[in-house]
Amino acid sequence: MTGRFGRQPTGRDPRLSARLSRRAHSVAGQVFALMAVIVVLLITAAALALVLQARYDSQRDARNRSLAAAEAFAHAPGMVTALRAADPTAQLQPLTEAARRASGVDFIAVMDLRGVRYTDSRPELIGQRAADVGRAAAGQSFTETFEGEPSDAVRAVVPVRDADGTVVGLVGTGIEVAKVSQALEGQLPLLLGAAAGGLLVGTAGAGLVSRRLQRQTRGLGEAEMSRMNEHHEAVLHAVREGVLIIGNDQRLILANDEARRLLDLPSDAEERTVAELGLDPRTTELLASGRVVTDHVHLAGDRLLAVNVRPTQPYAGRPAGNVVTLRDSTELASVSGRAEVARSRLQLLYDAGVRIGTTLDVVRTAEELSEVAVPRFADFVTVELLEPVLRGDEPSHVAGAYTEMRRAAISGIRADSPLQPVGDRIRFVVPTAPMAAALDAGHAVLAADLNAAMGWRAQDAQGTRVALDYGLHSLISVPLQARGVVLGMANFWRADTPEPFDEEDLSFAEELGARAAVSIDNARRFTREHAMAVTLQRSLLPRALPEQSAVEVAYRYLPAKAGVGGDWFDVIQLPGARVALVVGDVVGHGVHAAATMGRLRTAVHNFSTLDLPPDELLGHLDELIHRIDQNETDGGEAAAGEDGPGGGPDGGPEGGESTGITGATCLYVVYDPTSGQCRMASAGHPGPALVRPGGPVEFPELPAGLPLGVGGMPFEATEFQLPEGSRLVLFTDGLVEDRDRDFDSGLRLLGEALSRPGRSTDQACSDILVSMLFPVPSDDIVLMIADTRRLEPGRIAEWEVPGESSAVSRVRNAASAQLVAWGLENVAFTTELVLSELVTNAIRYGSAPVRVRLVRDRSLICEVSDGSSTSPHLRYAATTDEGGRGLFLVAQYAERWGTRYTDRGKVIWAELALTGGAEPAPPAPLDLDALEDLAW
């Protein structure tokens, strides 16, 4: 048969086997096994003894019966006579058989002195000689266990004597050994039964003892019992922590030596109630209450004890009690008090390192120093700084020249401080005052008792009296020094704290002041560099936007708190009433980033004069930056070869700061108000947000361009057709992205802020910053919002020009008529002159189609386009030249002029002032038709 799962059943329960194994190794199991062995050995020994005794008794009984039968037959009347008869056998054989049956022996033999048998229970033995009867023939009766023929027997041989005592014959009787053994075997069942009963009784007794021991020892083994005993002895005598076990009836069950010592318990304290131990009432109440306590500090006599009370688990029906542990913390209290002071000072220094210098602001750093020391070290703290330090300038290096400072921070446990407020000038005019002494000595000075500080009291008698009446009683003055230069002064005051400052406090205050001075100096240097960078950057950013009609622009620029970056923007007026919107970002912070931004802005302005498309302009800018970086890298390597790594004493230009431009980003947008066309390209910069009139906020996808200076990939432009009133929002990543906000979340918030309609561009800028500005921006923020405009069709005039010279006069006349319609008769002559020169040049040297466009904007824009890509050049003709004066005249009469290339040719444009006062007065009227013959 197999089990349910195809395995042969073992008939054992694994849990039962485990329990039996554990019990076999326990003390109770070992005692049971030992007792069982002892019982088996005892019963076996008893049974063996009984068997041997029964055997011995059977043999002894057989000897006695044989001897008695032999004696009785040997002294029977007529025995002597029968032996002396002629045929003793005939007379004695019947008698011996009768006697044998009567006595219960196995044989009776009558023999002569030689041992020859006259009679025997076995007739075939009559006449044969018996062995070993010499002693009886000599007159001695004996019994023995005979082994030999005819059978083994327990026999007795007795001599037969006559009246004179002479031995005349022998009588031998006996019982066969086999019959003696049969008698013993008859007793064996009783013996074995008694042994088995004794074994059962003994085993049952051993089991009862083992079971009781199992309960008392809880199944523990020998090793566990030994360890328990060792632990018990250790708890009682070796552990230096008092242990009490109190029963549910509030009687003391156990107390170790340490508990007796700590509580002065009597020697017979066990089994007495807690109330009878003679303890003080508070200790008695704590021990008798039974409530659970943890590390309860308890005063017992002159000892300070840490007490723990825990309930015990009920066992074997006995109710639960309590275990009480006592630890003497009297000496530890004083040591721990000093250690706690040291730990708190270390913690305060750590907090100072974390909390002081978090903002790189000089005043805020001074405030952090005053805040971190109150109330853990001082009740009031004041910080005074030199005026140059507050401005970020380098303080004076002359020792002892610090007699006046400005209070920068004050903190205290209460607001009603008697000390001078923030902003007041603090003068140190008395050399013996703690402040002046500390500045002169260059280290902290302690005034433990201000009542005795006469120099301090002489400095301001009225003010010090108010301070003393207020409760100020102790002072430490610490000069704030960094790099060997005094920056200011920190004063630590105590009023409510009764203990005055001591020498340990003096060294701690000096350490705290030294750490704070480094942070203040860092903030001062940062303030100076930040101010320089802000000044440089603001000088490089647009101070005023150009007047133009294409867009209405509002902007915001916020430098980062941690350091000015390289974010920049620009609005550039382009020919044809168009406008370029530019936003860029230079990687890094500081003066170098600001200078790099200025270089980029200048380069964009220069390239914009070429009137290039956005993608081509970014391509030229990328090439320029790559060339600049390469030149500066080569120069840096040459300098490194001369001066060491990086070319400078600090391992690089300007102390190790990189001068490369690689990594700058730029977004360039061109908007044409005459057509509503918007074209843009990006060099690694986020695209703009677009809000069409009445539409949702969009974030158009731009072709991904690499940052400037990386090179390798051309830039691509994207075109949009924008209706009038569309809103373009250009920004840098500092607006939407920071440590706690990712770029996508920032775009979502920007979209929500732009979705509210009906606001001007300036109001929209303010609202966006309010909703999105970070508490402490880590990067510069540029936000520029432009609302697009469209020029009315009535302000634009266009004509197609046939490819013949006679068309010039017709175009000139049509333009003159349009100017009259616009009310610009005063500029008609100049306009006709410029158009004549430009149209004539297009017909002669250009290719079809030729078009003329007049745009009335803030100036009059004259544009002549043709299909040729050849650009004219301004020449200065000699007096003998017949031509070459056309563009010279255009340049003289126009405010600006230039060439713009298109996809299918070029546009030559000129801008004329609407007032007409810009043109020089001609010496005599010119024949405009004759000007058509002038060459370029």
Whole-number pLDDT of residue 653: 41
C-alpha–C-alpha distance, residues 422 and 409, integer Å? 6
Q: How many CB atoms lie within 10 A of CB 804?
A: 9
pLDDT tens figures, 695-730 = 899 999 998 889 988 877 889 999 999 999 999 999
Measuring CA to CA, which residue among 519, 376, 499, 501 is closest to residue 444?
A: 501
C-alpha–C-alpha distance, residues 463 and 461, integer Å? 6
The 3-class secondary structure across 204-217, one letter per residue, is: HHHHHHHHHHHHHH
Q: What DSSP line would sit under 855-909, residue for residue?
A: EESSSEEEEEEES--PPP------TT-SS--HHHHHHHH-SEEEEEEETTEEEEE
C-alpha–C-alpha distance, residues 456 and 463, integer Å? 10
The DSSP symbol for 116 reads B
pLDDT above 70 coverage of the chain, percent: 82
Whole-number pLDDT of residue 182: 63
pLDDT tens figures, 544-565 = 788 888 999 999 988 876 666 7
User: Which regions of 115-236 does DSSP assign to beta strands (E)?
Assistant: 142-146, 153-161, 167-176
Whether the pLDDT of residue 683 is over 80: the answer is yes
The DSSP symbol for 546 reads P
Measuring CA to CA, which residue among 120, 125, 122, 105 is closest to residue 174?
A: 105
For residue 13, count CB atoms less than 10 angstroms from its CB and return exposed for 0-12, middle for 13-18, buried for 19 or more: exposed
Whole-number pLDDT of residue 933: 45
Measuring CA to CA, which residue among 86, 94, 130 is closest to residue 111?
A: 130
C-alpha–C-alpha distance, residues 565 and 760, integer Å? 28
Whether the pLDDT of residue 930 is over 50: the answer is no
pLDDT above 90 coverage of the chain, percent: 21
Amino acid at 527: T
Which residues, listed in sequence order, are joined to residue 308 by a DSSP beta bridge? 325
Q: Nearest 5°: CA angle at 750, between 748 and 752?
A: 70
> Torsion angle, CA of 624/625/628/633, rounded to 10 degrees?
-150
Pairing of strands 677-683, 689-691: unpaired
* 585 compared with 210, residue with greater pLDDT: 585
Q: Nearest 5°: CA angle at 536, between 534 and 538?
A: 65
For 415, half-sphere exposure in the C-beta direction (CA atoms, 13 angstrom radius) is: 0
Whether the pLDDT of residue 124 is over 90: the answer is no
pLDDT tens figures, 757-779 = 889 999 999 999 988 887 767 78
Whether the pLDDT of residue 640 is over 50: the answer is no
Measuring CA to CA, which residue among 501, 491, 497 is closest to residue 464?
A: 491
Amino acid at 911: E
pLDDT tens figures, 496-526 = 888 999 888 898 999 999 999 999 998 888 8
C-alpha–C-alpha distance, residues 309 and 325, integer Å? 7
Are 445 and 457 within 8 A, CB to CB?
A: no
Are 681 and 716 within 8 A, CB to CB?
A: yes
Dihedral sign, CA of 762, 765, 771, 774?
Answer: negative
For residue 525, count CB atoms less than 10 angstroms from its CB and return exposed for 0-12, middle for 13-18, buried for 19 or more: middle
* 860 compared with 11, residue with greater pLDDT: 860
Q: For the residues 105-129, what does the mean pLDDT come to? A: 84
Lowest-confidence region among 226-240, 262-276, 515-529: 226-240
C-alpha–C-alpha distance, residues 512 and 504, integer Å? 12
C-alpha–C-alpha distance, residues 444 and 439, integer Å? 8
pLDDT tens figures, 161-189 = 888 888 888 888 888 777 666 666 666 67
User: Roughly what angle, to the nearest 10 degrees, separates helices 503-540 and 362-372?
Assistant: 160
pLDDT tens figures, 321-369 = 888 888 777 655 555 556 667 777 788 888 888 888 888 888 999 999 9
Whether the pLDDT of residue 50 is over 80: the answer is no
Structure tokens at 123: 């007739």
C-alpha–C-alpha distance, residues 426 and 206, integer Å? 98
Amino acid at 935: A
Q: For the residues 211-221, what does the mean pLDDT come to? A: 68
Backbone φ and ψ of 248, nearest 5°: -65, -20
Whether the pLDDT of residue 134 is over 70: the answer is yes
Whether the pLDDT of residue 319 is over 80: the answer is no
C-alpha–C-alpha distance, residues 758 and 884, integer Å? 55
Grade residue 399 by pLDDT with cuts at 50, 70 and 90.
low
Structure tokens at 827: 């500029």
pLDDT tens figures, 773-807 = 877 677 888 999 999 999 998 899 999 988 888 88
Q: What DSSP line would sit under 346-395, residue for residue?
A: HHHHHHHHHHTTSS--HHHHHHHHHHHTTTTT-SEEEEEE-HHHHHTPPP
Residue that the structure tokens 């920049």 belong to: 568
Backbone φ and ψ of 527, nearest 5°: -60, -45
Among the ranges 257-271, 446-460, 642-656, 770-784, which has the highest mean pLDDT value? 446-460
Residue 213 makes CB contacts below 8 A (sequence gap 6+) with 27, 28, 31
Among the ranges 161-165, 278-282, 374-378, which has the highest mean pLDDT value? 374-378
Whole-number pLDDT of residue 636: 52
Amino acid at 262: L
Mean predicted lDDT score pLDDT of the chain: 80
Q: For the residues 909-925, what does the mean pLDDT come to? A: 62
> Torsion angle, CA of 593/595/596/602, rounded to 10 degrees?
140
* 692 compared with 39, residue with greater pLDDT: 692
Whole-number pLDDT of residue 181: 65
Whether the pLDDT of residue 932 is over 70: the answer is no
C-alpha Rg value of the chain to the nearest Å:
65
Lowest-confidence region among 380-389, 415-424, 835-844: 835-844
The three-state secondary structure class of 683 is strand
Whole-number pLDDT of residue 21: 56
Q: For the residues 381-391, what does the mean pLDDT come to? A: 91
Lowest-confidence region among 22-36, 379-393, 645-659, 763-777: 645-659
Whole-number pLDDT of residue 70: 82
C-alpha–C-alpha distance, residues 484 and 522, integer Å? 14
Among the ranges 5-9, 14-18, 487-491, 538-542, which has the highest mean pLDDT value? 487-491
